Structure 1
Amino acid sequence: MTTPYQQYPQGVSDKSKVVAGVLQILLGGFGIGRFYMGDTKTGVIQLIVTLVTCGIGAIWGLVDGILILVNGGVDGQGRPLRD
Structure 2
Amino acid sequence: MGQCSPIIVRSAPPRCGQQECRSLGCRLMTYPPPYQYPGGVSDKSKVVAGVLQIVLGGFGVGRFYIGDTKTGVLQLVVTLVTCGIGSLWGFVDGILILMNGGVDAQGRPLRD
The root-mean-square deviation of aligned C-alpha atoms, in Å, is: 1.4
Q: Which runs of 5+ in 1 are unaligned?
A: none
Match of residue 14 from structure 1: 43
Query: Aligned partners of 2:95 and 2:71: how far apart in 1?
Result: 16
Q: Compare relative contact order (CA 8 Å, sep 6+) and give the higher one, 1 or 2.
A: 1
1:48 aligns with 2:77: yes
TM-score by length of structure 1 reads 0.90
Amino acid of the structure 1 residue aligned with 2:110: L
Q: SS in structure 1 opposite 2:58?
A: helix
Extract structure 1 runs of 4+ deviating beyond 4 A: none
1:9 CA drift (Å): 4.3
TM-score by length of structure 2 reads 0.67
Match of residue 99 from structure 2: 70
Q: Which runs of 5+ in 2 are unaligned?
A: 1-30
Structure 1, residues 14-65: CA drift from partner, whole Å, max 9, x if none?
A: 0000000000000000000000000000000000000000000000000000
Name the one with the larger helix percent. Answer: 1
Aligned length: 78
Name the one with the larger strand percent. Answer: 2
Give identity over the alignment, percent: 85
Larger CA Rg, structure 1 vs 2: 2
Structure 1, residues 53-83: CA drift from partner, whole Å, max 9, x if none?
A: 0000000000000000000000011100000
